Structure 1
Amino acid sequence: MAALIIPWNPDDQQWDGPYAADVDAARRDGVILQRWTLPAHLASPHRGASQPVAERGMDVWLVILTGPRAGQGLIGHGTLAAVGALEDGPTTPVQIAFDALLPRGDQVALEPLVERVPGVLAAAGRPVVIDGTEETAMRAVWRESFAPETASVDPAPGSLPPAARKRVDVDRFEHDPGLRRAVVAHHGSTCHACGLDFEHKYGLDGGDLVQMHHITPPEYVGADYDVDPLVDLVPLCATCHVVAHSRWPRPYGIGELREMLARSGFLRGTALTDEQLAAESAAARILEASSEPDER
């Protein structure tokens, strides 16, 4: 496996748009696209070259190596989304899909990073490709420093190698941390279908584990749709959430989920335990004895 390290100088105009806003956008939307340029020799293989080259789908690590020492370090992860047409010039345009960005000041410090990934220093002023143990060490450093969103069952971006990942589309409103806070503050942490109260069941931290369910039918979600978190989202436990989305294109409503739960209560074909069998035998003997006529 190979990965690309790109150095970023925040004082230059390399980043397209306000970085601070893109940090929040990456958490909210899942990905931020940025244009970059790579040295031509990194984007096209040369005959007999031993160094790996940048390929679509490989990991990209954003590192600050300039400015004050306290501001340097590993600050973002993404994947190489596209490589432009190869020309005879010194550089090749690429597009990077950043799926995780740290606020400036929260980056992984440079000193411990270099101790485990010495090849980072080779990126001073130019992108470099790393592979082997350094690529593995870079992922480990990031995995130890970047936590996934609360209640997320998905691994943190960059914590797994490309071969172990699959990108899927999700309902952005159900995964927006700002909307989640508003919904929990208004509706509480209780599943609106089965009544499981996460805070009561798992303690104070449990309130953050309930999931958000977007109840607005898909046909009403257009390009100009503006979600109302207090009307369009309700808390559901993970089990009820899966059942709700088991019907497509219109998920089961909260009322329908409650009807399912009301009709349930037993599982056909369930095997009884030895204790249950013994209890049934004892009950049968008691009933049999009570039904026998009194001969006195």
Structure 2
Amino acid sequence: MTAVILGCDTNALLRWGYPAAVGHVALHGGILKRWPLYSCPDVEEGTEAWLLVHGSNDAGSGLMGHGLVMSQPCRVDPGGDHEAAGWFVAVAFDALLPLGEQIRAGTVGNVIPKDLWAQAAGPALVTLPPSYVPVLRRLWRELGPTTADPAEVVGGSLPPAAVSNIQVNRYERDPDARRACLAFHGTRCAACGFSFESTYGETGTGALAVHHVVPPAMLEGGYELDPIADLVPLCRNCHAVAHGATPPLSVTELQSMISGAGHLRGDVVAAPVLQAQEDARRILEAGQA
């Protein structure tokens, strides 16, 4: 269980265009960054990486992000379009905290050695002793990024090998498109008929997901979303199963799977419907008498 600390200062973050990178991760779930280094690092592809920033004071310093090293160390020669000669690794960040919302240096300093903090006054890459990795993950899980979807896992809160990614496009997160979809299709899962509101009451309001019928990657550029034709409501189970295939499964395919497994789609029957059924039964029985 190995991990590294990527160190830099706030000026380096601003040169990177860090606020835009934070927005990109929030929208797309990750961003790839070429991370510059003074010397050739001893690091393997797939190593977990933590972004540690050194500011002018405690308020500007701290733990800012999490990712994975995605390449072997590469040499940058002088000249060309590169900023400077040196080494770099490619890092895929899956979580970044906005400027000013980092886990402060004093808190981080309580869980990792002070000398490691000093060594990471980057641009630097410092190997984190294995015993500190689970401690840092726990700190990140407790004080790091939050997510609007409680079913999602915060980046860096689990070992990389234990995490599988479900690609959810930005249309499915758009609040206006979601409202339009549910206003037309209703608040039951289009595949299995489950209703969060009927089952959990007000607590279940807003738990239903919306699903893009045709993956945006298969559409031509400039396509404008039609929230009624392109989006359908799905419960969390059906949504996860739909996105478990490439391309995602259609509602019809999900319904076929459900019926094939012996589970028929059903609805919650309201009291007036039950009463009408009872009245009809009495009328039929009276007619047979």
Normalising by structure 2, what TM-score? 0.70
Aligned equivalents of 1:14, 1:217: Cα separation in 2: 34
- Secondary structure of 1:97's aligned partner: strand
Aligned equivalents of 2:244, 2:90: Cα separation in 1: 35
Q: 1:72 Cα deviation (Å)?
A: 1.7
Give 1:105's aligned residue. Answer: 100
Give 1:122's aligned residue. Answer: 119
- Say whether the 8 Å CA contact 2:8–2:53 is kept in structure 1: yes
Aligned equivalents of 1:143, 1:219: Cα separation in 2: 32
Check 1:122–1:249 CA distance in 2 against 1; reply closer, same or farther (3 A cut).
closer
Q: 1:194 Cα deviation (Å)?
A: 4.0
In the alignment, does 2:31 pair up with 1:32? yes
Unaligned 5+ runs, structure 2: 79-84, 265-289
Tell me which stretches of 4 or more aligned residues in structure 1 moved more than 6 Å: 87-90, 245-248
Aligned equivalents of 1:58, 1:214: Cα separation in 2: 33
Q: Share of identical aligned residues, percent?
A: 33
**Residues 1-296 of structure 1 mapped to structure 2, 5 A cutoff:** 1-12=1-12, 15-17=15-17, 19-41=18-40, 43=41, 53-86=42-75, 91-118=86-113, 119-127=116-124, 128-146=126-144, 149-151=147-149, 153-166=151-164, 168=165, 170-173=167-170, 176-177=172-173, 179-180=174-175, 182-184=177-179, 187=182, 189-216=187-214, 221-241=219-239, 251-253=249-251, 257=255
Check 1:192–1:122 CA distance in 2 against 1; reply closer, same or farther (3 A cut).
same
| Aligned residue pairs, count | 251
Aligned equivalents of 1:139, 1:243: Cα separation in 2: 28
| Aligned-residue CA RMSD (Å) | 3.6
Amino acid at match of 2:138: A
Normalising by structure 1, what TM-score? 0.69
Check 1:8–1:257 CA distance in 2 against 1; reply closer, same or farther (3 A cut).
same
Amino acid at match of 1:164: A
Check 1:39–1:163 CA distance in 2 against 1; reply closer, same or farther (3 A cut).
farther
Q: 1:249 Cα deviation (Å)?
A: 5.2
Q: 1:170 Cα deviation (Å)?
A: 2.0
Aligned equivalents of 1:78, 1:85: Cα separation in 2: 18
- Say whether the 8 Å CA contact 1:212–1:234 is kept in structure 2: yes
Aligned equivalents of 1:155, 1:193: Cα separation in 2: 25
| Rg (Cα) greater in structure | 1
